[in-house]
Chain A
Amino acid sequence: MFGLEKRDYTLLIIVACLTMFAPFILNPFPTDSAMAQFNAGYPDLMQRFVIFGIFAIGFNLLFGLTGYLSFGHAAFLGVGSYSAVWMYKLLGYNILPGLFLSVIVSAVFALLIGYISLRRSGIYFSILTLAFAQMMFSIAYSDLIGRFLGTTITNGETGLQVYNSDPQVLHSASKPDIPHLFGQQMQSTYSLDIAGWSFDFNTGYYLCALIMIAAFYIAIRIFRSPFGLMLRAIKTNQTRLNYTGLNTRPYALAVFVISGMYAGLAGGLMACMDPLAGAERMQWTASGEVVLMTILGGAGTLIGPVLGAGFIKYFENIFSKINDSILHQWFAFFPDGIEDAVVFMIHPFIGKGWHLTLGILFMLVVIFLPGGLVEGGQRIGKLLKRGKKSEDKGDGDAASTPAE
């Protein structure tokens, strides 16, 4: 179905099930238990999981297939957010115009930046994209265009917000004052309480999840298309392609623009979930983050970037919230001296030290699982399979196929 081979179809179904049942999967611990700290099934974080999933899927189309390492993808994310918020300000809180414009505008920016940057490859390409992204960050952070025109375009460090005085020509009193899709408010949440567990079903999350499944589907189609094969050829040996008389640049530019549109869509969705666009989401750290997500999950694989995005966002939001008083609660069963010692030992790795924990895990993954989390899954799958029936040598165990 959907023009997919059986293996890809299974993968799509798995992703769809994971996202649809995420409120259950991410909240495995009862609300009042000590482990509830590790629950991640609240709307904001679930939205982030799928939005950054989209971002990473798009990035992987460029990096995983062609090997071009863009270090400035966050710029498109930011452009998408600003476009969406401007649509709120001008038209109204319905999210469709914003999403539409964020994809268009980021495509235009990607076309411009890609056209120039793709004249170089390798490290020079990375540096060029990084330079463009930092320029755009500085412009947004100090609102240079707005200042030049004597108005507000990005509202600088404070972030672009919607005010009651904005035109909002399509807005009327009967419509909600927060982002909505034809009256469906993005932040409305239904909490299902079952015997100590609490599961949140959020409209915005399900919208993002559906869009992510669609984005994932398109990515599969691109991976399996002749176009995708051409992109892999660029990664394998661009020089040889050129010698055979093929001009590779249009292909690279096309995928760069598609990848930028994915990022713009993710940025637009961020603004749909939370109607504010801040310049920080364009900073180079944000660009670096998506590179980490892709490599951590497995570059060139289909599901890897999604896993990587979830992994990093989980650390950012869950580990950073553990503080010393929570640690003292956990280790209260130790004698006082040992308790303090244990807390002292763990302290650098939690709270604002979550970067350190993530860094260590990233190093471990890169050293021992060069194919990312996906390779880890494949190894476990192979181990299980070997135990059961060693003669079956089908390749159906691979949850996804690495590019090389």
Chain B
Amino acid sequence: MSNTNFTRRGLLKTSAVAGAGLAVPTIFTGDVWADAHSGYLNAPQGSTVTLGFNVPQSGPYADEGADELRAYELAVEHLNGGGDGGMMGTFSSKALEGNGILGKKVEYVTGDTQTKSDAARASAKSMIEKDGAIMITGGSSSGVAVAVQGLCQEAGIIFMAGLTHSNDTTGKDKKANGFRHFFNGYMSAAALAPVLAARYGTDRTAYHLTADYTWGWTQQESIQAATEALGWQTANNVLTPLATTDFSSYVAPVLNSGADVLVLNHYGGNMVNSLTSAVQFGLREKQVNGKDFEIVVPLYSRLMAKGAGANVKGIFGSTNWHWSLPDEGSQAFVKSFGTKYGFPPSQAAHTVYCQTLLYADAAQRAGTFNPCGIAEALEGFEFDGLGNGPVLYRAEDHQCFKDVLVVKGKDNPTSEFDLLEIVEITPRAQVEYAVDHPMFAGGDLGTCNPGA
């Protein structure tokens, strides 16, 4: 069957063909073959500039992803001079003129991260390589944000993180090409713990259920440290895989653990399912150690509150932004979002809208789309009027510092959107931390990469 014919001529022919094949890649060497038109990757050609919106359209965070996409479309409309301008009118920097970015009309491409690192990177790569996107933004999971941020650093594209709350995004996984407007686990814990101690007392034992990935780990670590500093004890921490939909087997052991507070370090569909499970088990009616059993959700969003329905009443958590904030920027954003879609925006929508505006403004001020120019314009940038009061983009770790909202599920909601009430606005000073804080240590920003 096998016909081996090792003749001299056969061998010569074979090695000639094989050698030619091996030599092919060597012609793709040197700078001539690099993308060297402009000094940076995907420099916009012609009269348009393309942004890449990479959001979860399926998986546990699909609701957040859909809302992010709405906000992106609104931001693009405003940047191109359409609509009522939204927060462009209230933004403290007035560089944007409503004629796109640097006179180029803004266009966009979308992709589905599926809340999976692999899929998110494939989607981001196709935006960069096929569609020529100059910036990638979005995501509703820290695992994805960290993975895509790494990709953008390697490729030489700016990454404006969407909803990512892990300490690692601007901690041990921080990258020079990545920027985060959203707050993080440490800030949530620093804002939430004093409020919890004031309401529930300092003599409490907490049981943690934690989403098993970078966000869950750092969120849990932060809240445990902050509550223990105020006298609480931690009974147990159980990690739940992100793809879990039935939490009953995780909730059942809580009853006999001796804990009197359940902390759900879950987000999106996970939190809706775990909270519903906990309420169905009757945890909220229970008395432990002579105290009412309480449930805490460190990271809250209106979309989650809507998903969990009446179960969220009276439950505390923290949030980056809420549509009921009375300041001018928030109201302008809620108005234009509401006019276009008929309901108020979520915090995910708010943060990605801000990120798009901040990117456009930085490009405008820098006068270039070069990632290094934009990074320089964003580092140490102080601004106001985007709904969070005065905000600083810290140069050392590309993290925004701003006030944090402590919220509570409303007891008597007046509408299907009016589900959370703001308990306290924790001032920025209380949630700030040093760049080399142990929870954020181990990372290296590196240097900005323009890609070419």
A residues sitting closer than 8 Å to B (CB atoms) are 1-3, 5, 16, 20, 39, 42-45, 48, 138, 141-142, 156-159, 161, 163-165, 177-178, 181, 184, 187-191, 200-203, 206-207, 210, 213, 221, 224-226, 228-229, 274-276, 278, 280-281, 317, 320-321, 323, 351-352
Contacts and interface: CB of A to CB of B under 8 A. Distances in A.
A402 B359 CA distance: 56
Interface string B76-117: 000000000000000000000000000000000111100011
Given A142-B212, A142-B239, A158-B213, A274 B57 contact: no
Interface centre among B6, B110, B130, B151 (most CB of A within 10 A): B130
A326 to B, nearest CB: 9
A188 B155 CA distance: 10
Contacts, number: 144
Contact of B121 (A202, A224, A225, A274): A274
Given A42-B130, A188-B33, A274-B125, A206 B212 contact: no
Contact of A210 (B21, B151, B213, B443): B21
A347 to B, nearest CB: 13
A305 B346 CA distance: 45
Given A42-B126, A165-B442, A278-B118, A158 B35 contact: no
Nearest to B13: A1
Contacts of A165: 442, 444
A276 B147 contact: yes
A320 B112 CA distance: 8
Interface string B112-143: 10001111011001100110000000000011
A330 B319 CA distance: 41
Contact of A224 (B1, B168, B212): B1
Contact of B24 (A1, A39, A206): A206
Given A43-B129, A229-B1, A321-B126, A158 B121 contact: no
Contacts of B150: 161, 276
Contact of B118 (A191, A202, A207, A280): A280
Contacts of B168: 158
Contact of B2 (A159, A181, A224): A224
Interface in B1-51: 1-6, 10, 13-14, 17, 21-22, 24-26, 28-29, 32-35
Contact of B147 (A142, A159, A203): A159
Given A142-B241, A280-B118, A351-B57, A157 B129 contact: no
Given A42-B129, A163-B444, A191-B35, A184 B29 contact: yes
B58 interface: yes
A323 B69 CA distance: 12
Contacts of A191: 35
